[in-house]
């Protein structure tokens, strides 16, 4: 991209954002001529930008008065932001309680692209090497939290995961589509996910879904620890606690199962 074209693109993005910020509670619907005048932009420029914004759902035209208003894509982004802020507040007491009950480190995670990213971490009292931190990204297919997010997401995420390819971290890492589909089906059937030495040797994690008030899975809660403590004897007991933690956070976010 040439410097001139790059500058033009950045200018267009900036002007599009200025247009979106022009809407307010007091002026929720605006005409192109008003926007052009208020922002000191050419009418043709505003018209072109509004057409682009409309095609992506960020604005829409009111057919009754030909004025523009914010579209549903804005609402979608606002919901993501609101949910994430709310989930910070609502999840923390549950994570602390889960750590007290299990003795293992707990995380709250979301899906970001094809990776799982950790929003919160509450450390256990055990002196064990930490493999994660807030903001840490891991491929979704190799973690219990990630498999939760993939299992309850659209099929396109699974397809994109397969297209990107699989990195083998251990002998237990999922490395092909059939293995992934089998694992995700099991997650949906059982309502939780396990990762047994799939990304780190000797490390086990258990994750459960977190739902918003609509029932959509928006995050996952997990515990992670060494195989010496998370084994055939303790996994069933701790799994119930993780699943219950997921339900508690979901209920705090307004979800009600019937």
pTM of the model: 0.67
Q: What is the pLDDT of residues 49-96, one digit of tens each?
A: 999 999 999 999 988 898 999 988 887 776 666 566 678 888 999 999
Closest CA to 138 of 121, 113, 158, 157: 113
Q: 155-193 in b/e burial notation, b at 16+ Cβ within 10 A?
A: eebbeebeeeebeebeeebbbeeeebeebbeebeeeebb
Question: pLDDT at position 129, please?
Answer: 53
Residue 17 has a pLDDT of 93
Q: Is the pLDDT of residue 8 over 60?
A: no
Position 236 pLDDT exceeds 80: yes
pLDDT in tens, 149-178: 999 988 888 898 888 999 999 999 999 999
pLDDT, tens digit (0-9, with 9 covering 90-100), for 183-213 = 999 999 999 999 999 999 999 999 999 999 8
In this predicted model, what pLDDT tens digit does every residue of 97-145 receive, in sequence order? 999 999 999 999 988 888 888 888 888 887 655 567 676 788 999 999 9
In sequence order, the 6+-apart residues with CB closer than 8 A to the CB of 209 are 148, 152, 191, 217, 219, 220, 246, 250
DSSP assignment of 69-133 equals EE-HHHHHHHHHHHHHHHHHHHHHHHHHHHHHHH-SEEEEEEEETTEEEEEEEE--SS-------
């Amino acid at each position: 991209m040439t410097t001139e074209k790059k500058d033009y693109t950045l200018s267009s993005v900036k002007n599009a954002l200025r247009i979106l910020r022009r809407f307010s509670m007091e002026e929720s619907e605006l005409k192109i001529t008003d926007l052009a005048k208020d922002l000191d932009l050419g009418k043709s420029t505003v018209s072109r930008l509004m057409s682009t914004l409309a095609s992506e759902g960020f604005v829409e035209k009111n057919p009754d008065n030909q004025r523009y208003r914010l579209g549903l894509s804005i609402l979608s982004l606002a919901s993501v932001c609101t949910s994430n802020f709310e989930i910070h507040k609502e999840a923390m007491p549950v994570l602390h309680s889960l750590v007290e009950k299990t003795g293992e480190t707990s995380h709250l995670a979301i899906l970001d692209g094809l990776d799982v990213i950790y929003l919160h971490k509450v450390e256990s009292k055990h002196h064990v090497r930490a493999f994660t931190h807030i903001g840490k990204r891991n491929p979704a297919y190799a973690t219990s939290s990630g498999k939760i997010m993939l299992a309850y997401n659209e099929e396109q995420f699974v397809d994109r995961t397969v297209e990107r390819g699989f990195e083998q971290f251990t002998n237990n890492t999922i490395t092909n589509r059939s293995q992934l589909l089998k694992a995700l089906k099991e997650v949906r059937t059982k309502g939780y996910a396990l990762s047994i030495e799939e990304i780190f040797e000797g490390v086990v994690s258990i994750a459960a879904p977190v739902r918003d008030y609509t029932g959509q899975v928006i995050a996952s809660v997990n515990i992670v620890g060494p195989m010496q403590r998370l084994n055939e004897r303790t996994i069933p007991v701790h799994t119930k606690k993780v699943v219950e933690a997921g339900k508690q956070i979901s209920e705090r976010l307004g979800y009600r199962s019937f």
